[in-house]
Amino acid sequence: MEPLRTAKRIVIKVGSQVLCTDQGALNQPVLASLASQIAELGKLGWQSVLVSSGAVASGTGVTHSEPGAQKLRHIPNPVTRKQALAATGQVRLMETWRQHFNAHGLTVAQVLASRSDFQTRRHYLNMRGCIEALLDCGVVPIVNENDVVAVTELMFTDNDELAGLLAGMVNADLLCLLSSVAGVFDGAPDLPGSTCIAQWDDSRHRIEEIVQSGTSALGRGGMSGKIAVARKTSRLGTEVIIANGTAGEILLNLVKGDGPGTRFAAQREASSTKRWLAGTEGSFLGIVHVNAGAAAALLDRRLLTSLLPVGIDRVEGTFERGDVIQIRGPEGRVLGCGRASYNHHEAGKLLGQRGQKALIHYDYLYLPD
């Protein structure tokens, strides 16, 4: 059941390029401005969730400013070095945010997340319940990836992905991805003649034609990743805007519809379960291969189709009732995923049979395209 609420919700993701200088020092005027704007949003009836990058970058800054931390830069193992920098920088990052929000009478809470928090329905609901409680109490949740314990298989692509998942989790009305550029440009932003795309249109715009892949020195994200997150999140019912986080009063202008940036219009609103499933695409415990007829029925948007045993050719992996399983078409194409109604043993016994209970009911089925 969806949580009841009256306030509008906004998830704000701020990247390292916005929050930090090239040396890793926190950009105090930017943090102060964003905290002030979020406080003002609260007066306008918005509940805000802040996704803050900058822990690793801030930890790098600590190694330059505090003699006792200099050895952190020379930890030979790159994964361990990143974890140590994140652990050190997260303290400075959160304390800085606390001070800026406290100036406006607001309390903040730290929420550290890993991909495993989105993999099971139970963990997902527990995390959502915590964030809902914080928002209802007027506390600003500040979320970051738990870099200290994250390993490759539990890492988000970047904090843009985390922000998109959180937007679905709290059923946000608006997701703002704040970077160091004004939005998505139809060419290189620094070239004469390039303009910012005000409204993204899938029928006109192609990521590969207008965006060069790459990441900044301080972060993992890139514009192509932001667009992918924006398209996916908007399809689940949340409007998304990519904008420049250093522009004056950017958040206040965006909620009024005045700010510069690239907007991705919200499409159909998905259920809480489907928003959860959208975040588990890479975390499945089994695979079902379906025949051409089942694939066509599942992909026909005019139908509300469940996955029945009659349409399944083969089952792979070990899964139990309630686990997430991936669905693949005849040629191995990934069609989507869903929550299993029974385990792999029973699914294997019922292959191809008519008149049997659905392995994945439509309400627990997610098809991205």
Q: Span 63-69, mean pLDDT?
A: 85
State whether 339 and 224 are in the same domain: no
pLDDT, tens digit (0-9, with 9 covering 90-100), for 22-44: 766 789 999 999 999 999 999 99
State whether 261 and 291 are in the same domain: no
State whether 125 and 150 are in the same domain: yes
Instruction: Classify residue 42: in a domain, yes or no.
Output: yes
pLDDT, tens digit (0-9, with 9 covering 90-100), for 267-317: 877 888 888 898 886 678 899 999 999 999 999 988 889 999 999 999 999
State whether 145 and 293 are in the same domain: no
Query: What is the CB-side half-sphere exposure of residue 89 using CA atoms within 13 A?
Result: 34
State whether 260 and 350 are in the same domain: no
The answer to whether residues 238 and 49 touch, using CB atoms and an 8 Å cutoff, is no
Q: Span 355-363, mean pLDDT?
A: 95
State whether 43 and 141 are in the same domain: yes
pLDDT, tens digit (0-9, with 9 covering 90-100), for 110-128: 999 888 788 788 888 999 9
Lowest-pLDDT choice from 110-114, 174-178, 199-203, 284-288:
199-203
Write down which residue in 242, 271, 300 finishes a domain. 271
pTM of the model: 0.86
Arithmetic mean of pLDDT over the chain: 87
Task: Grade residue 318 by pLDDT with cuts at 50, 70 and 90.
Answer: very high
The pLDDT of residue 175? 97
360: domain CATH number is: 2.30.130.10
State whether 340 and 244 are in the same domain: no
CA distance 339 to 348: 16
> Residue 143's beta-bridge partner residues?
51, 111
Task: Grade residue 216 by pLDDT with cuts at 50, 70 and 90.
Answer: very low
The answer to whether residues 201 and 188 touch, using CB atoms and an 8 Å cutoff, is no
State whether 95 and 236 are in the same domain: yes
Domain holding 87, by residue range, is: 8-271
Write down which residue in 271, 297, 332 finishes a domain. 271
Instruction: Classify residue 124: in a domain, yes or no.
Output: yes
Inter-CA distances, 239 with 1, 46, 73, 263, 339, Å: 22, 15, 40, 7, 26
Instruction: Classify residue 153: in a domain, yes or no.
Output: yes
Is residue 210 pLDDT above 70, yes or no?
A: no
Cβ neighbours around 301 below 10 Å, total: 10
Task: Grade residue 342 by pLDDT with cuts at 50, 70 and 90.
Answer: very high
State whether 303 and 193 are in the same domain: no
Is residue 368 pLDDT above 90, yes or no?
A: no
Total of domains in the chain:
2
Q: Span 85-103, mean pLDDT?
A: 93
Write down which residue in 271, 300, 317 finishes a domain. 271
State whether 199 and 314 are in the same domain: no
